[in-house]
Amino acid sequence: MLKTITLPQVTFGAYLLRTLKEDDYLDYYEIGKNAANIHYLTWSPFKKYAEAKEAIKQYLMRKWYQEPIGYGIIFNDKLIGVIEFHTFSDLYKTAEIGYLLHQDYWNKGIMTSALEKVCYIGFTILELNKIVIRSIKENIASLKVIEKNGFKLVKILKNAHYHKKTACYYDIYQYQLERDDFFAQKTKRNL
């Protein structure tokens, strides 16, 4: 897999992306206990701090697989969200990205900016050729974040996701962004 990498801290506006730490579990609990924050995710709201602590440990375990640990999105020294690479392919030099943001920070452009920064890291530091994001079509806000970052819809997987909380099947929209397209867009926007 990838060589063990500590991702650099990145600031954007008043926000900071930094590697997750064990003591982030208290703030992660605040995010994960709110049903609105995790509405489209497969897991249920946290009921105990121990659940958040275990979830953070899962992020941190990635270093054992020589994968980068996820980023915390920090505002005023508080974890308000996470964004991470997962599902790496050495053969194709690809990875997927997943993210989650506390409801109090929605509709402020935070995740759009965080995703752009993480894509830059993926293409430069991790030397990926392609980044993939999947979302159910009902998660309109997530689809907007994805599309604002230049990802292209490449596949619709019909009834591919069974959601335990709703006991329904959902279509998954699969988007991808290739390295050359990212840098062409970046040059075009003079970022």
pLDDT in tens, 60-81: 877 666 778 889 999 999 999 9
Cβ count near 73 (within 10 Å): 28
The H or E element containing residue 25 is helix 25-32
What's the predicted TM-score (pTM) here? 0.91
pLDDT of residue 190: 59
pLDDT value, residue 187 = 75
Radius of gyration of the chain (CA): 16
Those residues with Cβ within 8 angstroms of residue 50's Cβ, 6 or more apart along the chain or in another chain: none
Q: Which residues of the chain have pLDDT under 50?
A: 1-2
For residue 46, the 8-state DSSP code is P
DSSP E strands: which ranges in 48-186? 71-75, 78-89, 94-101, 130-136, 152-163, 168-178
Give the pLDDT score at 16. Answer: 97
- What is the per-residue pLDDT for 7? 80
CA 76 – CA 144 distance, rounded (Å)? 26
pLDDT of residue 4: 56
Does an H or E element contain 18, and which? strand 15-19
Report the pLDDT value the prediction gives residue 189, as an integer from 0 to 100: 64
Write down the pLDDT at residue 153.
98
CB environment 4-38: b (16+ within 10 A), e (fewer): ebebeebeeeebbbbbbeeebbebbbbbbbeeebb
Instruction: Give which of 126, 146, 127, 125 is closest to 135, Cα–Cα.
Output: 146
Domain boundaries defined on the chain? 10-189
**Residue 1: its pLDDT value, please?**
44
CATH class in words for 10-189: alpha beta
